[in-house]
Copies of this chain bind each other. A is one copy, B any other.
Amino acid sequence: MAVDLVIVGSIGLDDVKTPFGEVKNVLGGSIVFFSKPGIVGVIGSDFPKEHLEFLEKRGIDIEGIIMKKNEKTFRWHGFYEYDMNEAKTIRTELNAFSTFQPTLPEHYKDARYVFLGNIGPGLQKKALGQIRNKEFVMVDTMNFWIDHDRDGVIDIMRNADAVLMNDAEARQIFFLPSLVMCAKKILSLGPKYAIIKKGEHGALLFTQENDTIKHFNAPAFPLESVIDPTGAGDSFAGGMLGYLAKTKDVSEANIRKAVIYGSVIASFNAEGFSINNMRMISRDDIERRFNEFKEIRNF
């Protein structure tokens, strides 16, 4: 069965320590709730079978995941101190990911919605080139690629409908202090939307109408206990694009809603290690928090 959303990214196993505990060998990356997504990525033979089963049970198509025998899965080992906005890396092992070339199964190629996770811009472009009738493409990146292949990052942005970055990355790539100015730069490259993530401070959505820049301010849900922020950015992207793929409406009004759904999913993600909390929440929980997001900003 054809998928409606393709997610390209790195699938990994994480060892994470925060002031509230420690976990090893947990699933990294984004879990999508709303639509029928297909994942493109690579794993090694050490990747636990139960993680794949979990993804399948969640309705995610995993045919685009290549398993390389005799290789190990991508691994990230990191920790957080009390400032949960800053992840500290102890070790990154590329392993099977180092020679990864994305190849999409046939039934992925007519997906209308595409999320290119923060892998190298060359790989993002190669994956995107295999999709035939794109409706909405969102691109993420990270500081490593801005340092090593800034031209590639700019180039893939030109092919996107929406660019997703965090505030530090946006300032880094354009050498500008103001996020409004950074958003203008992104929009001048072609994308209709620039989304700037600010961790516990929420996200800003920018778009342009004639010569006027418009913005939408999405709060983060202030959590009493942030346990592990790893994957919050991916959950945000997954929640956002999953909602768009389900509703098939890319008007600005619906994209604002999608940004809130992204924030809802990211907030649940941060309340537990890895995706532990995500295993337990229901659609009702999601709708309830979506409505709370309305309430906390009403004046």
Contacts and interface: CB of A to CB of B under 8 A. Distances in A.
Interface in A220-249: 222-226
A216 interface: yes
A217 B218 CA distance: 10
Interface in A181-230: 181, 198, 201-202, 204, 215-219, 222-226
Contacts of A179: 222
A158 to B, nearest CB: 23
Contacts of A219: 202, 217, 219, 297
B178 A225 contact: yes
B224 A215 contact: no
A175 to B, nearest CB: 10
B299 A224 contact: no
A19 B180 contact: no
A260 interface: yes
A134 interface: no
Nearest to A224: B180
A297 B263 CA distance: 14
Contacts of A294: 299
A204 B296 CA distance: 9
Interface range on chain A (Cβ under 8 Å from partner): 20 to 34
Contacts of A48: none
Contacts of A84: 177
B19 A177 contact: yes
A226 to B, nearest CB: 7
A70 interface: no
A265 B180 CA distance: 19
A201 B260 CA distance: 17
A15 B184 CA distance: 32
Contacts of A198: 201
Contact of A299 (B177, B201, B215, B216): B216
B177 A216 contact: no
B296 A178 contact: no
Contacts of A171: 82
A215 B221 CA distance: 10
Nearest to A253: B299
Interface string A73-84: 000000000111
Enumerate the 7 nearest inter-chain pairs by beta-carbon distance, A residue then B residue, closest first: A201-B201, A217-B219, A256-B299, A180-B224, A82-B177, A217-B296, A297-B297
